[in-house]
Structure 1
Amino acid sequence: MTHSVTAQPRGKRGSATGRRQPPERGKRRWGRIVLLTILVLLLAAGGTAYWLYRNLDGNISGVDIDKALGDDRPEKLPTSGQNVLILGSDSRAGANAALHTGDVAGARSDTALVMHIPDGRQQAVAISIPRDTLVTRPECTKTDGTEVPPANRVMFNSIYSQAGPACVVKTVEKMSGVRMDHYMEIDFAGFKGLVDAIGGVTVTVDKDIHDKSSGLDLTAGTHRLDGTQSLQFVRTRHGIGDGSDLGRIGLQQQFMLALLSEIKKQDLMGSPTKTYKIADELTTALTTDSELASLTKLAEFGRSMNGVDPSTMETIMLPVAYDKIDPNRVVAAEPQATTLWKAIRTDEQIPESAKKSPATGG
């Protein structure tokens, strides 16, 4: 695809000599830069600050994944690192309604990433699952107790609305054999607010993008995107490549790295007011598994990843091939997908052959 992007370690492109440039110490703390900083500021202030802390803490929604799934899950291997399923949901309810066009109802997982943080917390990899992938949905139980029967050839992004977030986790675990340690979800309205709170995100595109569906209208070059434009950017599909979801994944991966880089640049310690605004936007938009559903737990998790540098993060797409029955859908390509998930499951290096996707010509 024309715009598909795979992030490369900085050592391959950081200088004219190709030699890796040492990152600044402060830039390596991205995992805790927002939540841990605001936590320290609030606890140090006391009084009114305690109310602010409680306000932020109460923003976070939690989903008890362990209770919902029980023992029907892959085994947690001792060398499997940490695996986090991250969803961007496109709910049409509440503040999200104004961010959509068309009359599609309900909510779907518009963006899905399996982030693998290996033992030692050094280099992470993010695997995008195309929303149009046909998968087998296992039997699930919704939050209201309703049983959802298993089904074959279900679009991946429909599972969220059909059976809820716990079922999305269960589906990913069934298709990958990888146990998800944590779950995080951010909704569209919150995503927009987060980008606006940090003052926008800078991206560069090599060709004009004109997508009437998403509303994105960019000329080739570098642009500073506000929250609304950022949503258009990560949802664009008709203005790039062949108009399928596969081209959009490249833009989503590009934007994710740009967003992390922007957060690293922020002088949050020098601006408590801005820090609180960012933390408020982030926690309001955030839903996690119950183990992370507090400010202190999120801060602890961020602190445990302080050795991970986003500039070395590898972003790849689940290898897929166009479905033989419905060419508008894709299916996991074999043997690449099996090899990829095995590498994640055993915390080993992913072979280059496992990253090649027939639907994108490799």
Structure 2
Amino acid sequence: MADQQKDQQPISSRRAGRRGLRIAGLSLAAVLLVAAGFGGFAYWKLNHNITSVDLNSLLGSARPPASTNGAFNILLLGSDSRAGANQRKGGGANDGTARSDTAMVVHVEHDHRHASVVSIPRDALVDRPACTKADGSTAPAVAGAMFNSAFEVGGAACAVKTAESVTGLRMDHFVEIDFAGFASFIDSIGGVDVTTTVDINDPQSRLKLTHGTHHLSGDQALAFVRTRHGIGDGSDLGRIELQHQMLKSILEQARSVGLLGNPVKLFKVADTLTRSITADTDLASVNDLVGLSQTLKAIGPDDLTLVTLPVHYAPTDPNRVVATQPQAARLWEALKSDRPVPKDVLRQQPANPADAAHPSTSAAPGPSGRARPSAAARPSASAAAWAVLHR
């Protein structure tokens, strides 16, 4: 979403934005003070809200090496589970399984002031490695499996191992949130604002918006990040662009809600967030989450680069996509070397379907002097091929 920022944004505005995001980054830290005021009950409750997965025991030592310069990676997963409240939110039948409906690799650079977010299309075909399930059994390796199937067959550990195999990067942390959790979190921060220059009418996600700026509730925000029918070319890549826009909107809302001045609201947000996520054991406490928020507090919207993995439709199946080489390999190598996203990857980003008109395909430098991802270039696959990507 960095391409939507103005290059000439006033310095005072940028500083105000960063101050706001620092406040948001310190919100969980303030929860500790609130917890003390409640005699420790709140702190205990928040810690017990969090569900954790011991990735270290499930993945073993056969993993990419961790960075030694302070850079790190987080795998963000959105689960499409229909269990419990998720069935009402997501629709469809509950078959007892879940896939990674959304997958983003977040690379935080060594200075902890810049980050790159790479979305991996869920229908991308990858070589899924053998992995250990939570019950100790083994999910066999499969060539040419959909990326989102890893979470379905082996849970978080298999999703992490597959992401590491595809990217060559160590996933230092992972965070998962489901439909109901995402909607509840959006409601807890007071909703979010989004702007679209085209009308959106998607009977599948049940989202209907006229062009303009709208304040979305949690259910509407969930529909926004899931929609693709009736907008743009109907592709999953377009939906990913909407998810990038939503990420920016969440950052903007976190800046403006004033949590530190409202302890009751602060606790409500923290309670909702901790009940909504599953994380690796190294993040599964309030103290750990506070430490992460402190680490990330200097990263503002202008310091984020959001892109989609370069892909094209699979020669063997027009309903699936595969990584486009050598661009995909160069992207992962750049992040592995703690460098910005390559400019040729930025130039080839798909269009945001919420924009009726798109800027030129050139990657314009942002305020930090780094190239910004463009929203103009269409995907390598035909619009018809993209439109048939399921769900």
TM-score normalized by the length of structure 2:
0.86
Structure 1 residue aligned with 2:72: 82
Q: In the aligned structure 2, how far is the partner of 1:274 from the partner of 1:78?
A: 38
In 2 relative to 1, CA 179–20 (structure 1 residues): closer, same or farther, beyond 3 Å? farther
Q: Which residue of 2 aligns with 1:275?
A: 266
Range with greater deviation from structure 2 (156-165 or 349-358)? 349-358
1:71 — aligned with what?
61
**Residues 167-214 of structure 1: CA distance to partner in whole angstroms, max 9, x if unpaired?**
100001001100111111111111111111111100001111111111
1:360 equivalenced with 2:376 (yes/no) = no
Contact 2:24 2:255 survives alignment (8 Å): no
Amino acid at match of 1:199: G
Residues 13 and 234 from structure 1, CA distance in 2 versus in 1: closer, same or farther, beyond 3 angstroms? Answer: farther
Aligned twin of 1:42: 35
CA–CA separation in structure 2 for the residues paired with 1:155 and 1:20:
46
The match for 2:146 is 155
2:92 alignment partner in structure 1: 102
Q: Distance in 2 between matches of 1:219 and 1:361?
A: 29
- State the one-letter code of the partner of 1:169: V
Residues 1-362 of structure 1 aligned to structure 2 (within 5 Å):
6-8=1-3, 10=5, 12-15=7-10, 21-24=13-16, 26-29=19-22, 32-43=25-36, 45-47=37-39, 50-79=40-69, 81-103=71-93, 105=95, 106-355=97-346, 356=348, 360-361=379-380
For the residue of structure 2 that corresponds to 1:110, the secondary structure is strand
Q: Distance in 2 between matches of 1:194 and 1:77?
A: 31
Distance 1:10 1:253 in 2: 13
Change (3 A) 1:236 1:11: closer
Q: How far off is 1:102 after superposition?
A: 2.5
Taking a change above 3 Å as real, the CA distance of residues 94 and 102 of structure 1, as seen in their structure-2 partners, is closer
Q: How far apart, in 1, do the equivalents of 2:204 and 2:38 lie?
A: 48
> 3-state DSSP class of the match of 1:23?
helix
CA deviations on 1:18-42 (whole Å, 9 max, x unpaired) are x784412532416633321212222
Amino acid in structure 2 at the alignment position of 1:12: D
The one-letter code sitting in structure 1 at the alignment partner of 2:277 is L
Between the two structures, name the one with larger relative contact order (CA 8 Å, sep ≥ 6): 1
Which one-letter code corresponds to 2:2 in the other structure?
Answer: A
Identity %: 44
Distance verdict in 2 for CA 1:176–1:112, change over 3 Å = same
Shift of 1:337: 0.4
Unaligned runs of 5+ in 1: 1-5
Structure 2 CA distance for partners of 1:199 and 1:20, relative to 1, 3 Å: closer
Secondary structure class of the residue paired with 2:259: coil
Alignment deviations for residues 276-304 of structure 1 (CA, whole Å, 9 cap, x no partner): 11111100001111011000111012112
SS in 1 for 2:315: coil
CA contact (8 A) 2:23 2:260 kept: no
The more displaced of 127-136 and 19-28 is: 19-28
Residues 80 and 347, structure 1, Cα contact 8 Å, conserved in 2 = no
Q: Which amino acid aligns with 1:119?
A: H
Report the AA paired with residue 354 of structure 1: V
Question: What letter is aligned with 2:9?
Answer: G
Distance 2:223 2:72 in 1: 31
Residues 326/346 of structure 1: CA separation in 2 closer, same or farther (3 Å cut): same
1:269 aligned counterpart, secondary structure? helix
How far off its partner does 1:100 sit? 2.2
Matched letter for residue 15 of structure 2 = P
TM-score of the two chains, using structure 1 as the length reference: 0.92
Preserved contact between residue 148 and residue 163 of structure 1 (Cα < 8 Å): yes
Cα deviation 1:297-339 (Å, max 9, x = unaligned) = 1101211222211342111101111111211111111000000
Q: Is the 8 A contact 1:31 1:303 kept in 2?
A: no
- Structure 1 distance, partners of 2:106, 2:93, is 32
Contact map agreement 1:11 1:21 (CA 8 A) in 2:
no
* Residue type at the aligned position of 1:171: T
Gaps of at least 5 residues in structure 2 are 350-376, 382-391
Cα deviation, residue 343, structure 1: 0.4
Contact 2:116 2:341 in 1 (8 A): no
Separation in structure 1 between the aligned mates of residue 70 and residue 118 of structure 2, nearest angstrom: 15
